A and B are shown apart, each in its own frame.
Chain A
Amino acid sequence: MKRYLFPIAIFLLVFLWISPALAAVDPAAAADAGGPWWQWPIILFVVTFVMGIVAVLGGVGGGVLFVPIISGFFPFHLDFVRGCGLLVALSGALAAGPGLLKRNMASLRLAIPVAVIASACAIVGAMLGLALPTNVVQTALGATILGICVIMLTAKKSEFPEVKKPDALSTALHITGIYREESTGKDIEWRVHRTPLGLATFIIIGVMAGMFGLGAGWANVPVLNLMMGAPLKISVATSKFLLSITDTSAAWIYLNKGCVIPMMVVPSLIGIMLGSLIGVKILAKAKPTFIRWMVIGILAFAGLKALTKGLGITLF
């Protein structure tokens, strides 16, 4: 507990420091209110560093924290926040991908058919998100974030789902595998079912990932684990790897539309990756239940902020 009090304290101190600027009705005015140009990249780095730690401990991806918090409390337009958020989520997935694939925790066999659908739909989502008015996207983002909070509170997880019989599609595609469960030392053979339904669900997931600049890990894991029956560890690892493909397609749409400002992207990227490395070290020793509750609270707050911002209501 003492180990992560420090990063939480830093997070709160930074928020207190920037709160006079964030309290401005017009965040753009806050940015022009004075102060050196480098204060925002530095604040961004510190916030995303802590976000990286908290995300790992809370079992969420960087994107789902990044977009609602940065868009709600920083002076950057949602277009740039989404572009940045996708690159942040993408980088996290790229960093984790090689290790997960080599250890056979992430399954390329499971990911490839899912990724074709999700990445194509992420393009559609990105185009839709850039075409819709900002307040519409902001409102939908707020509602989605609040929905994610509900999912995090209520979704069950199944460590080893029972798959009585794989469906015809997964059999034809040989979507199956074996991994070594370190906690028991046993080799676990797994297979999946409801593959057509799972693939169809990834249409919706892909669109939302592209539209909101989120990583979609929050949706990937329940679908892979609860709907398709992949073991929890395989689902989490494959989900993380899948983000590197889904987010690639959407990121290119935002990049080609000009929604990338390096002074935002690079500090965020480095911050969240360094934070994730620290978070992984802490995670091995900590029981992150408290952190998970804190993440849900932060997301609920950020979701409400995004929702009210989109509806033009000033609650806080």
Chain B
Amino acid sequence: MATNAIKKPGAAEEQVLYASVLEKGMLAGLGILVITFVVYVLGIFEPYIPVEDLSRYWSMNVHDYLQAANITPGWWWASQLGKGDFLNFIGIALLAGVTIICYAAIIPTLLRKKDIVYAVLALLEVIVLSAAASGLIAGGGH
């Protein structure tokens, strides 16, 4: 395995790359979230759940909420992007997913440096996070 001996107090190439991708993704996610929230609050797109009814739902447990509001868990929200509330999920998903992109971005650099162990660890992390994001790992319900 290639060494990653750091002799100077500077970040390694893959670390700088990770930081760069993270910064762009984070800013994009936040920006989209702010814009879509303004659209939601101003009622430009009709929300799936009327804002006046939200207080009825947010005190329920999630199982009852999904039933009462007729919402399907998982990636169903992606089919409801025409609704003002679900539009916000774009920014939320980007913030939740940017780490996966960062890890994927550094794998080629690690392989080029022949840092196979860390390339495998990074790939493992991409698999773990993608599995979580996919919705295939289902939690229980109350």
A123 located at the interface, meaning its Cβ lies under 8 Å from any Cβ of chain B in the complex: yes
B14 located at the interface, meaning its Cβ lies under 8 Å from any Cβ of chain A in the complex: yes
> In the complex, which residues 118-142 of chain B have their Cβ closer than 8 Å to any Cβ of chain A?
118, 121-122, 124-125, 128-129, 131-133, 135, 137-142
A251 located at the interface, meaning its Cβ lies under 8 Å from any Cβ of chain B in the complex: yes
A10 located at the interface, meaning its Cβ lies under 8 Å from any Cβ of chain B in the complex: no
Residues of A within 8 A of B92 (CB): 87, 255, 260, 262, 265
Task: Give the distance to chain A from B71, nearest Cβ to Cβ, in Å.
Answer: 6
Q: Which residues of A contact B (CB under 8 A)?
A: 27-28, 31-32, 37-38, 40, 75-80, 87, 90-91, 94-95, 97-99, 101-104, 107-109, 112-113, 115-116, 119-120, 123, 126-134, 172-174, 176-180, 187, 244-245, 248-253, 255-266, 269-270, 273
B22 located at the interface, meaning its Cβ lies under 8 Å from any Cβ of chain A in the complex: yes
Task: Give the distance to chain A from B64, nearest Cβ to Cβ, in Å.
Answer: 9
List 13 extra interface pairs beyond A99-B19, A244-B22, A256-B135, CB under 8 A.
Answer: A37-B52, A94-B26, A97-B22, A102-B19, A113-B121, A116-B121, A119-B129, A178-B6, A178-B8, A245-B125, A248-B99, A256-B73, A260-B89
Q: Which residues of B contact A (CB under 8 A)?
A: 3-12, 14-16, 18-20, 22-23, 25-26, 29-30, 33-34, 37, 40, 51-52, 54-62, 65-66, 71, 73-75, 85-86, 88-89, 92-93, 95-100, 106, 117-118, 121-122, 124-125, 128-129, 131-133, 135, 137-142
Residues of B within 8 A of A40 (CB): 55
Please determine whether B11 and A101 come into contact, CB atoms closer than 8 angstroms.
yes
The 8 Å CB contact of A101, one of B19, B124, B135, B137, is: B19
Decide: A76 near B58, CB < 8 A? Known: A245-B125, A248-B132.
yes
Task: Give the distance to chain A from B89, nearest Cβ to Cβ, in Å.
Answer: 7
Please determine whether A127 and B137 come into contact, CB atoms closer than 8 angstroms.
yes
The 8 Å CB contact of A127, one of B121, B128, B129, B139, is: B139
Residues of B within 8 A of A126 (CB): 139
Decide: A90 near B96, CB < 8 A? Known: A261-B54, A262-B37.
yes
Residues of B within 8 A of A273 (CB): 30
Please determine whether A101 and B128 come into contact, CB atoms closer than 8 angstroms.
no
Residues of B within 8 A of A262 (CB): 37, 40, 85-86, 88-89, 92
Please determine whether B62 and A90 come into contact, CB atoms closer than 8 angstroms.
no
CA distance A270 to B57 in the complex (A): 22
A-B contact pairs, 26 of them (CB 8 A): A37-B55, A75-B59, A76-B59, A97-B22, A101-B22, A104-B9, A107-B15, A112-B121, A112-B125, A115-B125, A127-B138, A127-B140, A129-B139, A130-B141, A134-B61, A173-B117, A179-B9, A187-B9, A244-B22, A256-B133, A256-B138, A262-B88, A262-B92, A263-B58, A264-B58, A266-B37
